[in-house]
């Protein structure tokens, strides 16, 4: 089977049919419809605009200036025995076009572009962290609904057992073999079963409603939720928590800031041109309106920035070390959490084995108790006690099987494993 065929089959397997819902489908719908998904798209637009603005530093800066002024006195020349040049006007005017082109800035423009891109990536990864939290909420709701449905099935079985026994006891009471109180005890238990069923159905409806809100799609209350089957070897999956990407992008942002700080040691060289019209011009003795211009090079070297550049780079290096320590602490916490989940998985598997043994014993006890109740050897209360113990054991097995899958999913979610990589199957 080719990789393409496997991929297509995987997609088909993960797409829900109209009358069922899959966990992977909930993940994908939440990623597409939850508000944080829109935040990511908006951040991409912000990053593109910020990078474009930073790129404009390569272009020449063009300014149009105008000035009009009046001054109380001007420079006058008086030469004894010779004529005086014409006086400069006290009202002066200038309109100018200024152009400045950067020639060398130590690579600051390219670094600023990379910095904006990395800041955008950091913001996107921060949003991914929030989306990952939504995945945990989906897990809780999805398996909460499944657990409530298992409880509803168990309550239904209890009700059927009580009704069956009630019919037999009613006949015994009518024949005077058993006291009416035994019948009333079973009838009261049947009412309690109805109450429990109503509470569970309410929880199921609430779960469907909340899950619908998170994935942005209406889910009918009766829609079956398909239980995923997890690969046995969970340890083969790699950690892909978005927090790790956040730490990496934080370090990269600081790295670009450190490069930017290094450019402060270098001079800035630019060319400029100024074309003007007005009076007086560069020749202040010419008082007529006329055009004039100036071109040249400009060199700027800030020695205070030069002296502070090393300290600034050292400060950023310390900040990078802080990020590394935060990342290391997060990795330790993640390992602790994963080990804890693995221990819980092992404990649940052991409980499933014991549940099966208990159910086999409880089943025999209930059958014996039913026979004793119909023969008047025990009361209805004693029978219900044994029946409830049997049903509790049966519910415990069903719940533990469900919790095993839920805990395995929790392991993958905590690990940050890609759900497509996990290749869930469903039953």
Q: pLDDT tens for residues 377-423?
A: 888 778 778 888 888 888 889 889 999 999 999 998 898 886 654 45
Element (H, E) at 396: helix 380-415
Cβ burial of 51 (10 Å; 0-12, 13-18, 19+) is middle
- Top-confidence residue, 344 or 13: 344
How many whole angstroms separate alpha carbon 109 and alpha carbon 104?
A: 10
1 inside domain: no
Whether residue 16 has pLDDT greater than 80: no
Q: Is there a contact between 266 and 305 (Cβ–Cβ < 8 Å)?
A: no
- Top-confidence residue, 8 or 165: 165
9 inside domain: no
* pLDDT score at 358: 92
* pLDDT score at 112: 93
138 inside domain: yes
* pLDDT score at 205: 93
Whether residue 232 has pLDDT greater than 80: no
Whether residue 102 has pLDDT greater than 70: yes
Question: What percent of the chain stands above pLDDT 90?
Answer: 45
349 inside domain: yes
229 inside domain: yes
Whether residue 8 has pLDDT greater than 50: no
95 inside domain: yes
113 inside domain: yes
CB atoms within 10 A of CB 332: 10
* pLDDT score at 84: 62
Query: How far, rounded to the nearest angstrom, does the alpha carbon of residue 100 sit from its chain's CA centroid?
Result: 45
First to last CA, the chain: 23
Partner residues linked to 97 by β-bridges: 64, 275
Tell me the mean pLDDT in the region 139-168.
86
What are the structure tokens assigned to 304, written together? 């205070």
Whether residue 153 has pLDDT greater than 70: yes
How many whole angstroms separate alpha carbon 31 and alpha carbon 54?
A: 31
Q: Is there a contact between 88 and 48 (Cβ–Cβ < 8 Å)?
A: no
Per DSSP, the chain holds a count of helices (H) and strands (E) of: 9, 6
Partner residues linked to 58 by β-bridges: none
SS3 string, 295-356, reads: EEEEEECCHHHHHHHHHHHHHHHHHHHHHHHHHHHHHHHHHHHHHHHHHHHHHHHHHHHHHH
- Top-confidence residue, 218 or 173: 218
Phi, then psi, of 98 in degrees rounded to 5: -110, 130
Look up the domain containing 56 and give its range: 15-69+90-426
pLDDT single digits (tens) 257-282:
999 999 989 999 999 999 999 988 88
| CATH number of the domain to which 178 belongs | 1.20.1600.10
The domain total for the chain is: 1
* pLDDT score at 81: 57
Task: Give 281's DSSP letter.
Answer: -
Whether residue 79 has pLDDT greater than 70: no
Confidence of residue 331 (pLDDT cuts 50, 70, 90): very high
338 inside domain: yes
Cβ burial of 346 (10 Å; 0-12, 13-18, 19+) is exposed
The rounded mean pLDDT for the chain is 85
Confidence of residue 178 (pLDDT cuts 50, 70, 90): confident
Whether residue 126 has pLDDT greater than 60: yes
How many whole angstroms separate alpha carbon 158 and alpha carbon 152?
A: 10
- Lookup result for tokens 């219900």: 384
- Lookup result for tokens 């990511």: 40
Whether residue 62 has pLDDT greater than 80: yes
């Amino acid at each position: 089977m080719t990789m393409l065929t496997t991929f297509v089959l995987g997609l088909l397997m993960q797409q829900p049919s109209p009358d069922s819902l899959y966990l992977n489908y909930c993940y994908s719908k939440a990623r597409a419809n939850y508000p944080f998904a829109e935040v990511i798209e908006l951040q991409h637009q912000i990053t593109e605009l910020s990078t474009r603005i930073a790129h404009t530093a390569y272009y020449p800066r063009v300014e149009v200036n105008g000035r009009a002024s009046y001054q109380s006195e001007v420079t006058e020349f008086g030469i004894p025995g010779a004529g005086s040049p014409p006086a400069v006007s006290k009202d002066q005017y200038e309109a100018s076009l200024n152009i400045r082109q950067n020639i060398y800035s130590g690579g600051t423009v390219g670094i600023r572009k990379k910095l904006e891109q990395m800041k955008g990536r950091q913001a996107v990864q921060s949003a991914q962290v929030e989306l990952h939290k939504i995945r945990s909420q989906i897990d809780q709701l999805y398996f909460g609904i499944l657990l409530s449905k298992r409880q509803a099935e168990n309550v239904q079985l209890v009700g059927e057992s009580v009704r069956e026994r009630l019919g037999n006891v009613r006949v015994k009471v009518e024949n005077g073999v058993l006291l009416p109180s035994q019948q009333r005890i079973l009838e009261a238990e049947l009412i309690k079963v109805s109450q429990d069923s109503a509470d569970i159905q309410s929880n199921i409806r609430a779960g469907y409603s909340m899950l619908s809100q998170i994935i942005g799609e209406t889910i009918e209350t009766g829609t079956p939720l398909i239980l995923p089957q997890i690969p046995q070897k969970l340890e083969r999956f790699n950690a892909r928590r978005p927090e790790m990407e956040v730490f990496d992008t934080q370090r990269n942002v600081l790295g670009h800031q450190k490069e930017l700080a290094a450019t402060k040691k270098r001079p800035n060289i630019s060319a400029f041109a100024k074309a003007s019209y007005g009076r007086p011009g560069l020749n202040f003795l010419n008082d007529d309106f006329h055009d004039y211009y100036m071109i040249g090079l400009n060199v700027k070297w800030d020695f205070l920035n030069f002296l502070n550049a090393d300290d600034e780079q050292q400060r950023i290096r310390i900040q990078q070390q802080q990020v590394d320590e935060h990342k290391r602490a997060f990795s330790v916490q993640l390992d602790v959490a994963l080990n804890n989940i693995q221990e819980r998985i092992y404990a649940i598997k052991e409980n499933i084995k014991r549940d099966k043994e208990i159910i086999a014993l409880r089943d025999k006890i209930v059958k014996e108790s039913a026979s004793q109740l119909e023969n008047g050897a025990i009361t209805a209360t004693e029978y219900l006690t044994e029946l409830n113990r049997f049903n509790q054991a049966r519910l415990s097995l069903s719940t533990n099987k469900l919790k095993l899958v839920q805990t395995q999913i929790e392991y993958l979610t905590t690990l940050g494993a890609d759900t497509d990589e996990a290749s869930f199957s469903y039953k």
